[in-house]
Amino acid sequence: MYTLLIGIFFVCLFYREKRKKKSLYDNRHNVNPIGTVAHEWFMGIASILNNYSEASYVGLQKWTDTFGVGTLAIALTDTFGTPVFLKSFAKPYEGGQGADGKTFAEFFTGVRQDSGEPEEFVKWMRKFYDDQGIKVCV
């Protein structure tokens, strides 16, 4: 467990410094990094908190604090169950700059799920975004 905690700590420190300046590749090719929040991120947060019910919200908050609003912003919905995740995803980001009171769902660029039926997941997410008043392209 301590190895995971130390790993999360160093990832946060490394990327906070790194996002202050673009990498050589980013500058040369004018691209932004993209990616997904991993299961282990939320699992590590839950372990630190000893609270699974708040892990999705705190994980989204810390991820956004570390990488910035809209950066590496593909959300993984199924670590502790999609319904639990969506409650957190619908909450406003209470951190740094760039979100202007928006919810995580409003500024994350997409979602990903590794379990369950893909067709059902798409319907579920469509309803979620519609209920939130967020227009999406599918």
Given a cut of 80, whether residue 6 has pLDDT beyond it is no
Given a cut of 60, whether residue 114 has pLDDT beyond it is yes
For residue 50, the 8-state DSSP code is: T
Given a cut of 50, whether residue 5 has pLDDT beyond it is no
Contacts 24+ apart (CB under 8 A), 41-45: 41/8, 42/76, 42/79, 42/80, 43/79, 44/4, 44/5, 44/7, 44/8, 45/8
Average pLDDT (41-58) is 91
pTM assigned to the model: 0.74
Residues contacting residue 111 through CB under 8 Å, at least 6 positions apart: 74, 75, 76, 77, 125
* Confidence label for 94 from pLDDT (cuts 50, 70 and 90): confident
Given a cut of 50, whether residue 10 has pLDDT beyond it is no
